[in-house]
Amino acid sequence: MRRPLAAWASLSTALRLTVAVHVLALIAWPLGIIAPGWLLGAVVLNHGVLLVGMRPGSRLLGPDMRRLPPASALRGEVALTFDDGPDPEVTPRVLDLLDAAGARASFFCIGAAARAHPALVREIVRRGHSVENHTETHPLAFATFGIARMRREIAAAQGSLAPLAGQAPRFFRAPAGIRSPLLTPAMAGLPLTYLSWTRRALDGTRGDAARGLARLSHDLVAGDILLMHDGRCALSPDGWPVVLEMLPRLLDRLAAEGLRAVSLPMALGEAPVASGAAARPDAGAARIASAGYASR
């Protein structure tokens, strides 16, 4: 009895209303106590609300951390987050750029990619950044999965990332940021906070560094959560990953405006992981390359 009650308690108000609307329709339709047109209209309207709730940043379907806490904003902090890695070509260069600027970030890693490149995950942590959960395989249809399958993707990534990073991820971001109506019950009991972003570069699909930088920096303020990609990156016309063209300019912009780039745990008031990063910007990439990874 406790499990059904716990599952019901984990549902958002919008999802509880969805259940109520569908139960009402199933009862009222055969009895003819409500006109079919009204029932159909209610169901269609309800599904429209759910679609709106699936958009990144919406809280209709459950909690969503899309800005840093007020205390972090008062400290002048901005969170840099990178999705879809680790990537042996791009991630080492991103780490070097962050080192050169004294910046920290959070990397939302795909579990399978992390297992394929364990040295990169360890290097992310060694440099003082955090490793977070972005599912085990990054299925594009993730938002259409049932509760059990969705939970397996998230839990598998926790199992892959925790031993490599030395601690379990504390934040989760869905593939493409599309939130399933079933995500909250799927995450029930997992020690994860769901997080989207304030602004994103779209550097995973669009090869224009200038526009990506404009998206990130327009009206940029303390407390923002910025989304970029160190994996599955779009390429600029000259074949260079967009993030590598965009990130140095973004870091310069943050410095000019007196904003500090932090990881998500740092934004919550935790001290950064002690970093042993070398002073030379390219030293980290060389170290990873010596472990069997190519760097560009």
Q: Which residue numbers are catalytic?
A: 83, 229
Angle of CA points 192, 12, 198, to nearest 5°: 55
Q: Give the three-state DSSP class for 109.
A: strand
Which residues, in sequence order, are bridge partners of residue 108?
Answer: 83, 132
| Contact by Cβ (8 Å): 261, 254 | yes
What φ, ψ does residue 262 adopt, rounded to 5°?
-130, 165
Query: Do 242 and 236 form a contact (C-beta atoms < 8 A)?
Result: yes
Quote the tokens at residue 112: 């399978």
- Rounded CA-CA distance 103/68 in Å is 16
Q: Which helix (H) or strand (E) holds 199?
A: strand 199-200
β-pair partners for 106: 81, 130
Helix (H, G, I), strand (E, B) or coil at 63: coil
In the chain, the amino acid numbered 211 is: R
State the Cα–Cα distance between residues 69 and 256, nearest whole angstrom. Answer: 22
Angle at 82 between CA 78 and CA 85, to 5 degrees: 160
Residues in CB range of 207: below 8 A, 6 or more apart: 234, 235, 236, 237, 242
Return the closest-CA partner of residue 78 out of 241, 227, 244.
227
DSSP single-letter state for residue 224: -
